[in-house]
Structure 1
Amino acid sequence: MAPLTKPSQAELDRRRTIGINLETVTNVSATEFPGNYPGEDLAWDIDEFRNSLTVKFHKNEQFDASFSLIGVDASIANAFRRIMISEIPTVAIETVYIDNNTSVIQDEVLAHRLGLIPFRGGKDGLRNFIKFWKRPAPDADPSEFPTSFDYNTLKLDLRIECTRKPNPPAGETDPTKLYNHAHVYAKDIVFSPEGRQIEYFSGEDAITPVNPDILVAKLRPGQVIDLEMHMHKGIGADHAKYSPVCTASYRLLPLITITKPIVGADATKFAKCFPEGVIGLEKVTKKMAEQDKAYAPHVGETRATVVDPMRDTVSRECLRHPEFQGKVKLGRRKDHFIYSVESSGQWDSDELFLESVRMLKIKCQKLEKQVKNMIR
């Protein structure tokens, strides 16, 4: 049997690159499996995987994060994305008990608007103290033992009435200056702790809207909104209001390779084919010409150089111009995923990725246990 060989770095880079051509996309199939390349052992190895796996944050703010996940298969990257969208639990308004609503908004529309308002509170209380609420059966007797307790239900109140302000300025037409509570905002919703909830949701940890200025309704004198809301824990797979993210997406790292010199007016035109910041312009020096003989005739001219390919949107605009034919190659790296995660407020953006990793680990442990039981 012939000895196993290892491919060169150039060959590995070729395999990892998706070719972006004028009208086609090439090299999209996965080839990293045993037996695909003769003489190579592509069996999965944990040490090799550990050495190639990289997580690099480009932006890490409370509600917005961008990071690269390098060295995993697309199925794993997509699993993290799907878990962030639909399986990380949050709390949201589930039931609205309307005692009085004389606004122009119908009861069901008002309840729907309230349900989509994102809330935040003490992390320990939301993640550990509050449990999932079990909905009563359709034929359950209302007089039976209730299913709402302090550990699975959060109570909110909204009681507001629009009245006229005394002595408004003559000729004033702004409703906010003519009336009290002309606009009803999310900040008008009041949290009413029950039982042990005061231990977890008080002070800065109290249940409050993520954005207090979300407009709920507009009222005029004599109109009233009087209602009570119950919040429960759920996941995005049940309803979008439980999703902890506004957006969670990823894209592959764009690759731009300049194979022949692009100089002078062509360099300026080439830079305009990409978003700002992707291509830079610099003068060709004697040192550059010594390092790359192709630039020897162009000393003193302006050349195009790749500055930040991550900003590229892969529009292929440069491939449409004949003067750039054979001078540039576009591609995308198969195992470099650039995530963009925007939190809705209950979780910090970077925590969402860590939680998705933890949940995927739990799923794998359950699957391992089931496979072992099946073998027995």
Structure 2
Amino acid sequence: MAPRIASPEEIRKRKACLVLPFLDREVDFPLPFVPVSHLLNIPPHQNLQVIFHKNDPLEASFSLIGVDAAIANAFRRILIAEIPSLAIEFVFIHNNTSVIHDEVLSHRLGLVPLKGSLDGINWMTWFRMPQEGEEDSASVASDHNTIVLKLNAECTKNPNASPDEEDPTVLYNNAHVYARDIVFEPVGRQTTFFSGPDGEIQPSNPDILLAKLRPGQKIDIEMHCIKGIGQDHAKFSPVATASYRLLPDIQITRPILGDDAVKFANCFPPGVIGIEHVTADEAEQKGTGYEGHKGEKKAVVVDPFKDTVSRECLRHEEFKDKVKLGRIRDHFIFNIESVGQFNSDLLFIESVKVLRLKCARLKRNVAALADMTDINPV
């Protein structure tokens, strides 16, 4: 017997999860999509859509529609922890007479986000810490796996400063040491891959304050940068944040008119609910709830995308049984903030590449396991 095919209205209802007025139970129990296929050979997502709402170099917002929550969460976790990026790993302190301890200063330097030529970063290979008695090419610092940065700053008095001056940045030279003071020193083939004002390895934000110095204090440091992933340390994470939320769903089940419509609109962020007037045609139609209310104000849903699902409207008795709040299960609104090494939209593409590699690796392992099972049946 062939399975029953659900109607479009039933599918729409199952895609929306109801938001209840009680904080101890935000949504109802999630029901699966219908019709559901449990075959291992699942066809590609035919309804998959990616719609960008904002695409700036450091921040992107887009909708991922038509996928399961497991896929959306996989992208989020990959963005945070599995996209390779460049960061300071080894700090060699030749001289540090500032008030900041060596360990604290090293930690601050490691967290400075870096940027440079993406071709050069992709050209670099992984650096692996050498084991005792091991000599491996991947364990030796070279031009293809290590970037060298230097920081050399010394504070001196400014002879041209006014005797009444109190600002230390005017009284002294190099009173504040910023990330812009970090200098990139290319080695070997790095001059080819990391060249030009935008191609050189440099801090993403040059105004990060690293230390404060006073006359006689000096910092002389050499830093080695390697590739890593956020799973190993947060400094390798290429995003400041990567998150998603479900698209809000607002359904006005019974007309909200007059002053109640204005109050209802004030329960939501601006732009979510609009105020219109009941037309003559609506006032003449029976069963709509607008009979005899020609010209009165009515509340209509304008843009649920801007809603934050605060439940404010559910706290008022006059709106009881007139509105249903929910969220669309397969409509994920992503927000990605890059730290500067990659553009925000490119980060999502990189996460897709990583997921494809994971799927290919799993497919190979499953095939190898199947071959072993055929040879040595259990």
Change in CA separation of 1:44 and 1:266 when aligned onto 2, cut-off 3 Å: farther
Change in CA separation of 1:51 and 1:163 when aligned onto 2, cut-off 3 Å: same
List aligned pairs for 1:175-324, cutoff 5 A.
175-203=168-196, 204-289=198-283, 293-324=288-319
1:283 partner letter: H
1:118 to 113, 117, 126: 113
Distance (whole Å) between structure 1 residues aligned to residue 138 and residue 359 of structure 2: 38
- Give the number of equivalent residue pairs: 366
List aligned pairs for 1:16-95, cutoff 5 A.
16-23=15-22, 24-32=25-33, 42-43=37-38, 49-95=44-90
Worse overlay, 17-26 or 288-297: 288-297
Per the TM alignment, residue 272 of structure 1 is displaced from its structure 2 partner at its CA by: 1.6
Worse overlay, 341-350 or 287-296: 287-296
1:259 partner letter: T
Distance (whole Å) between structure 2 residues aligned to residue 46 and residue 9 of structure 1: 24
Per the TM alignment, residue 303 of structure 1 is displaced from its structure 2 partner at its CA by: 1.5
Per the TM alignment, residue 169 of structure 1 is displaced from its structure 2 partner at its CA by: 1.6
Q: Any conservation in 1 of the 2:253–2:321 contact (CA below 8 Å)?
A: yes
Q: Any conservation in 1 of the 2:15–2:33 contact (CA below 8 Å)?
A: no
Distance (whole Å) between structure 2 residues aligned to residue 101 and residue 211 of structure 1: 23
Distance (whole Å) between structure 2 residues aligned to residue 49 and residue 266 of structure 1: 46
Q: Any conservation in 2 of the 1:163–1:181 contact (CA below 8 Å)?
A: yes
Distance (whole Å) between structure 1 residues aligned to residue 223 and residue 183 of structure 2: 10
Per the TM alignment, residue 288 of structure 1 is displaced from its structure 2 partner at its CA by: 4.5
2:163 to 148, 151, 170: 170
Per the TM alignment, residue 277 of structure 1 is displaced from its structure 2 partner at its CA by: 1.8
Per the TM alignment, residue 298 of structure 1 is displaced from its structure 2 partner at its CA by: 2.1
Q: CA RMSD of the aligned region, Å?
A: 2.1
List aligned pairs for 1:140-155, cutoff 5 A.
140=133, 147-155=140-148
1:186 partner letter: A
Per the TM alignment, residue 48 of structure 1 is displaced from its structure 2 partner at its CA by: 6.7
SS in 2 for 1:298: coil
Q: Any conservation in 2 of the 1:18–1:25 contact (CA below 8 Å)?
A: no
Stretches of structure 1 lacking an aligned partner (at least 5 in a row): 34-39
Q: Any conservation in 2 of the 1:49–1:71 contact (CA below 8 Å)?
A: no
Paired position in structure 1 for 2:5: 6
Deviations 1:244-291 (A, max 9, x none): 100000111110001111121111111121122211222223244457
2:369 partner letter: M
Distance (whole Å) between structure 1 residues aligned to residue 231 and residue 112 of structure 2: 18
1:273 partner letter: C
SS in 2 for 1:79: helix
Change in CA separation of 1:166 and 1:112 when aligned onto 2, cut-off 3 Å: same
2:187 partner letter: E
2:93 partner letter: I
Instruction: Compute the TM-score of the two structures, normalised by the length of structure 1.
Output: 0.92
Per the TM alignment, residue 177 of structure 1 is displaced from its structure 2 partner at its CA by: 1.0
Q: Any conservation in 2 of the 1:15–1:27 contact (CA below 8 Å)?
A: no
1:175 partner letter: P
Distance (whole Å) between structure 2 residues aligned to residue 145 and residue 61 of structure 1: 36
Distance (whole Å) between structure 2 residues aligned to residue 52 and residue 169 of structure 1: 70
Q: Any conservation in 2 of the 1:4–1:41 contact (CA below 8 Å)?
A: no
Identical counterparts, % of pairs = 54
Distance (whole Å) between structure 1 residues aligned to residue 207 and residue 281 of structure 2: 58
Distance (whole Å) between structure 2 residues aligned to residue 47 and residue 302 of structure 1: 49
Change in CA separation of 1:52 and 1:91 when aligned onto 2, cut-off 3 Å: same
Paired position in structure 1 for 2:374: none
Worse overlay, 161-170 or 231-240: 161-170
Stretches of structure 2 lacking an aligned partner (at least 5 in a row): 372-378
Change in CA separation of 1:157 and 1:295 when aligned onto 2, cut-off 3 Å: same
Verify: 1:15 aligned to 2:14, yes or no. Answer: yes
